[in-house]
Each structure stands twice: as C-alpha cells, then as structure tokens.
Chains A and B, each alone.
Chain A
C-alpha cells in the first residue's frame, strides 16, 4: 500500500531503529531490569479516578503546526482527558502492535488509519453507525464505502487527500507542449522535459511502478474487486498498462533516487523534475516556491480510458479493546463529525485537504480558486477510493507483479496469473 502512505523515510528509519532485533537483545537485560523496578512503583499514573482518560494516536503529519493543533483539540475536549500520541516513522507497524496491547494507556482508544477487513474480523474496531446516522448524506459515497464492511460503518473520514500530478506550466510552454491527457502524451512530455539537470517526471523512488496499478485499472473503468467480491480487473487491461509503464521506466526521463519520496514536494520545489506525483497537502509549500508557475492535472488516461485521481486521506476509528468505548465514540463525534471549526482548521490551516463533510466545503475559501480549486474538481470528477476488502496481501501481490514486470522484465503473463491466484486464494479464504 505504498501509494497510500505519506511517511517520511528518515523518520521511518528512527522507528525501525527501535525495532532492530540485535539492539533489542543488547538492551534486553537493561529493559528487564528497568521493568522490574517500575513494577515496584505500581501506580503508573494512568487510569486514575479523576474521570476518563483517552489516548488518541496520529501518524506524524509533515506540515508544521499539526501536532500542536491536535493537542489543542484534545485540550478543548471537556468530557475526558485526551492524550495525544504522535507517532513518527512506520505508523502502520506501531499501530498494529498498539492494537495488540491489553492494558489501558498502552493501546489507543481512538486512532487514525485505513480500514481493512482484517481489523473487523479480528475484532479490533467497533461500528460507528450510531454516531454517523444523522450525517450519512453529508459524505461522498466513496468516503462511506471505504469505511464500510458488511454494511457497517467503522471509520469517520477526517481528511480527503487527492493525489495527482503537479506540473510547471512555464517548462511545458518552453517546449511547446500542452499538459498530457493520455499516458502516451505523458511519456513524450517527460522525454521532452528531460534536460541535463531536470528530469521530466517524478513518480516516487520505490513505488514508481507499483502505484500505477490502480490508475491502469480505474482508467479502463474496471475496479479492484466487484460488489460481489470477485476480481474486478482483466488481464488484458493490466498487461497493456503494465507494459506501457515498463516503457516509461526504460526511458531515461524518470527521476529515480530523489532524496525524498513523492509524498514530499521537495523534488519539484528543488527543480529536480518538471512534473511530480504528489497530493493536495503539499500545495501551499509548492506555491510558496513557484508562485503562479504551478498547476495540477489528473493522472493521464491509459489506453483510451479516463484520467484518474487517487482520493487518499485518513479516517478515525475506535479501538474495540478500549475500556471506554462509549466515551471514545463521543469524542470522535465531537471532534471529527460535529466540530466545524476544528475540522476546517485541520483541513486548511496547515497543508491543504478537502473537508470530507460536504456541507463544510462551501466554507473552505482556500480551495475556491487556482490550482486548489482545480484539484478539488478533478478529485470529484476522476477520483477513486480504496476498497476495505482489498487486503494488504492482495496489494503486495499486485505490487510484486508490477515490480517484476516493469523493473525486472519478468514474463507479464505468468506474473499476472501468479498475482491473480494469490488474490483469488485470499478471496476464497475470506468469502469462500
């Protein structure tokens, strides 16, 4: 699911430092001693009798001021003491182990993340239908669908983050080219824009092949999984697209090995590339660097289909193990459903995001003009969303297929069959 993440690699590093197995062994004795000592202390200060304590987990947002904002919201809540756990680095791994914890204070009561079926099947989260019942028609169908498993709603959308291509109009004009609408045009534009110092296009370092699987599928009007939970894409579509992606990767117009991944706008800001895949969140930073000389387009169409935009973002969930499930739900309703001031602040005051509550979008003045307005328009017209039944294992299967075909030149036919078999096996074990 690399395409869906926005974790800073250097911060991931620090988290992985803590996971280093040898380091764990080396520190084992020390930690055990410390654990024995702290056990003598008994009272850890949590779960005291003065009202309810809630722990709320966030991944580390890159934009300045976000952590302070989260703490401000928590402090403003009167019915419980909310502690913010701001997690740098590999958030998914930290969250997974947090959700295994049994002791209050060790686990999150409320956390942000992305729904997948395994979270529901292993009883990690509670349905939130009751707190969302009054506002169901105030969300896009996609934002509801991606938070629904077997008819129950589990997540509340916090932010919508469309991802698309940023480009520098001045560089395109200098080459006499128009913004690409098809993948073929994108390839020739990338080639034309590649000069000694600037590469034409930046899609990402380690996910430049994998993140194009979904655009290939959705561009052709196909989907990941059908409503009946069968494979929703065809071999013909995927292979035609994958071979085009290979052609792009075999050219020398892609930026590879940039210091930061594509979720970070540094590459286009530092003129390492003319066109970059990134998200709406980065727009304020890019405008600061390039002023008016920036615009956005949806990802160009494959094989005569439509352009696509990945509508990423984050959702909030309530941990089923929480000792205070009802209080946690009340907090989620207060912050992410009802609190227009804080929802707009979170969506617009740091990086840009589209407020998920449709009725609040009118107040989002920052998104009414220029590239931001265009981003909102293409997100609504061409956007696709994740499917919570599409499991991480299925994603790994197609990621490996794309890497094998595009980067290693493996036999596309066999690769597709292998990935499809893995996905079918997963579907059989879940729905079979």
Chain B
C-alpha cells in the first residue's frame, strides 16, 4: 500500500494540470495508509493501556473491593496509598525485587557480552551457534517455568537436577518452596538467563561487527596485545551505545518479571516481587482493586524515577555526543 501511494505522484506528474489534485489524493491516501497501520495499535493502546491506567488512578482513591465502579461513599482519599506504603508485605516485595535486579542485570549483561565475544571469534558453524543461543528467546516464560519446575528442578528423586546430584552422592534438594537455603533464586536466574541471554547476545554481535577492523590493526601496530588490552581500550568503549541500551532493556525486563515468579514461587512471601503481590491483592481472592491500584501507581512512580536517574548517569539518548 505504501509503495503505490508513493508511486502515484510520480506517475501523474507528467500530465501537468492534474498534478495538484493528484497530490491531494496522494496525501490523503498516504495518511489513510498511515492510520490503517497505526490505528489498530493506537486503539489497542487506548483501550488496554491508557483507559485502564486512568481508571486505575481513579480507583486508587476508593475502597473498591469487588467492584470497578465504586460509589462516592467508598471514597478514602489517600488512604490506600498510606496503607500500601506502610504494608510490610509490599515493602518486602520491593526489597525482593531490588535483590533480583541487582543480581540479574549485571549477570545477564556479562553473560550475553561474553557469549557475543566468543561467537564473534568462532570460525566454524557460526550461524548454527548463533541460532542455538538465540532460540530460547522464542520460548514463553510460562512454558519454560513449567519445564524448569516440573522436570528439571522438581524436588523428587527423578528430577533432572536431583538425578545429577545423585550421581555425586548428594541428597535430593527441594529447589522451590523453601526459602532457606534460597535455591529458588538459582531456578529463577537460570531460567531468565536461558531465555534472555541469546537476544542481548545478538545485539552485542551486531555492535561488535560495526567496530572498524582498522582500529584493532592500528592498536596492533602500536604494540597493544590482542585480548584484555584491546578489549578494555577498544572493544568496550566502541560498544558504549549498545551497552547502555542493553542495560536499560535488561532493567526494564527485570521490572516486568512476573510470569516465572508467579508460577515458581508465587506463594512464598520472601520471593514475591511487587507485580506478583499487586496481582494477588487486586486480582486474586482479595479483589481489593483500590489498594492494588494505589500500589501500581506507587510502583510506576518508582520505575519512572529509577529510569530518569539511570538516564542521567548513563546518558541514554546522548550517545552520539561521545
């Protein structure tokens, strides 16, 4: 559609007197095309994001238990916000999330960069290895969480992980459901790495291939040794723009962590990130849509704050200035 809309003015340009009308028609058609492509997404954004967010903000000032249309008598002002901010379970969930983010962000970054560097040097079957590491990204968290929970890390003797441990004479471990020792972090982190690393690895490979080869040659001429020296002084600085973007993406993905936590450790109070807690408060048995909405807005403010700070310190968006 876009092609025909652009081609139209050229085709009619030679006929002289029809040109203005044709241009108007072309403009109209171009904007129709634009709206045809954009409207479904915009309507979806409006219906499924903007309206719910505004409605949720409205609900956050009411005692909206079991209802999405509270009456004026249910008005509680900022009551839901104070309840949420003083709720120890909500505070715990924020701590849980911080621990998770502090761990998963650097580990994912290091693993994907490491894999990218290795694959970039591989001569043999490069496309094969790239696909193998990228493929898990196509798997849904729900499916992966079930595989991790029910076959690899189940607590009985025939679980894959326990079978391996058994070979070394180690007793079986209940990987999930027990906070001490917190083996569940191993399950969650390994699952997330398995799914995510391939994607960021591809981003890094693309960036690595953009680095001009002559930089390395010049460094070699100047006596820099290939390896650590060129990595720290050429590769890493050249990857700055990509690194900042990848860090941001990993952090955002960590904020959105929900599926695997709900499925793997949803009932364990010490392993509940904020989204799972809010889901249970507002959509589970409790149906407290007012307090849940207040919590969601508090969380949104926190995310905005962290993103702004991160942008300030890492300079996301100013990467051209380097």
Contacts and interface: CB of A to CB of B under 8 A. Distances in A.
B41 interface: yes
Contacts of B154: 257-259
Nearest to B162: A257
A36 B43 contact: yes
A10 interface: yes
Interface string A296-340: 000000000000000000000000000000000000000000000
B267 A29 contact: no
Contact of B263 (A16, A36, A210): A16
A208 B179 CA distance: 13
Interface stretch (B1-9, B24-32, B106-114, B282-290): B282-290
Contact of A403 (B44, B266, B268, B279): B268
Contact of B66 (A99, A205, A255, A408): A99
B156 A33 contact: no
Contact of B48 (A9, A28, A118, A124): A28
Given A100-B67, A272-B156, A257 B174 contact: yes
Contact of B259 (A16, A30, A36): A16
B225 interface: no
A232 to B, nearest CB: 21
Given A119-B66, A197-B157, A96 B142 contact: no
Given A118-B287, A408-B180, A31 B269 contact: no
A40 interface: no
Nearest to B288: A393
B192 to A, nearest CB: 14
A255 B283 contact: no
Contacts of A259: 150, 154, 156
A30 B65 contact: no
Contacts of B267: 2, 206-207, 210, 399, 403
A124 B155 contact: no
Contacts of A418: 88
Nearest to A403: B269
A13 B141 CA distance: 11
Given A93-B284, A118-B66, A31 B174 contact: no
Nearest to B166: A196
Interface in B60-97: 65-68, 88-89
B115 to A, nearest CB: 24
A205 B265 CA distance: 10
A399 B267 CA distance: 9
A66 B146 CA distance: 26
Interface of chain A, main secondary structure:
helix
Interface string B230-267: 00000000000000000000000000101100110011
B176 interface: yes
Interface in B169-191: 171, 174-180
Interface in B34-52: 40-41, 43-49
Interface in A141-159: none
Contacts of B47: 28, 31-32, 35
A380 to B, nearest CB: 28
B140 interface: yes
Sort chain B's interface into a size bin: 35 or more
Contact of A404 (B43, B142, B269): B269
Contacts of B44: 25, 27-33
A103 B226 CA distance: 69
Given A32-B47, A272-B156, A257 B179 contact: no
B146 A10 contact: yes
Contact of B174 (A25, A116, A256): A256
A24 interface: yes
Contacts of A122: 65-67
B120 interface: no
A92 interface: yes
Contacts of B178: 256, 407
A258 B263 contact: no
A30 B287 contact: no
A151 B183 CA distance: 49
A1 interface: yes
A363 B269 CA distance: 46
A257 B43 contact: no
Contacts of B175: 257
Given A122-B65, A257-B154, A257-B159, A409 B180 contact: yes
Contact of B40 (A10, A32, A208): A32
A21 interface: yes
Contacts of B268: 206, 403, 407
A205 B178 CA distance: 9
B142 A400 contact: no
Contacts of A208: 177
A9 B48 CA distance: 27
Nearest to A272: B156
A206 B271 CA distance: 12
A276 B287 CA distance: 32
B270 interface: yes
B263 A30 contact: no
A13 B177 contact: no
Nearest to B172: A257
Nearest to B150: A259
Interface in A250-274: 252, 255-259, 272
B251 to A, nearest CB: 15
Given A118-B65, A205-B176, A92 B284 contact: yes
A100 B68 contact: yes
A116 B287 CA distance: 12
B94 to A, nearest CB: 16
Contact of A256 (B145, B155, B280, B283): B155
25 contacts: A2-B267, A10-B150, A20-B259, A24-B48, A29-B44, A32-B44, A32-B46, A32-B47, A33-B40, A92-B285, A93-B283, A96-B284, A96-B287, A116-B285, A121-B65, A197-B157, A205-B176, A207-B267, A210-B267, A256-B178, A257-B156, A257-B159, A257-B176, A391-B286, A407-B178
Interface of A: 1-2, 9-10, 13, 16-17, 19-22, 24-25, 27-33, 35-36, 92-93, 96-97, 99-100, 116, 118-119, 121-122, 124, 197, 205-208, 210, 252, 255-259, 272, 391-393, 395-396, 399-400, 403-404, 407-409, 418
Nearest first, the 6 closest Cβ-Cβ pairs linking A and B are A257-B155, A28-B44, A256-B174, A29-B44, A122-B66, A392-B285
Given A29-B40, A31-B47, A256-B178, 15 more contacts: A25-B48, A28-B47, A32-B43, A32-B47, A36-B43, A116-B285, A122-B66, A205-B176, A205-B177, A252-B171, A257-B153, A257-B156, A258-B156, A404-B270, A418-B88
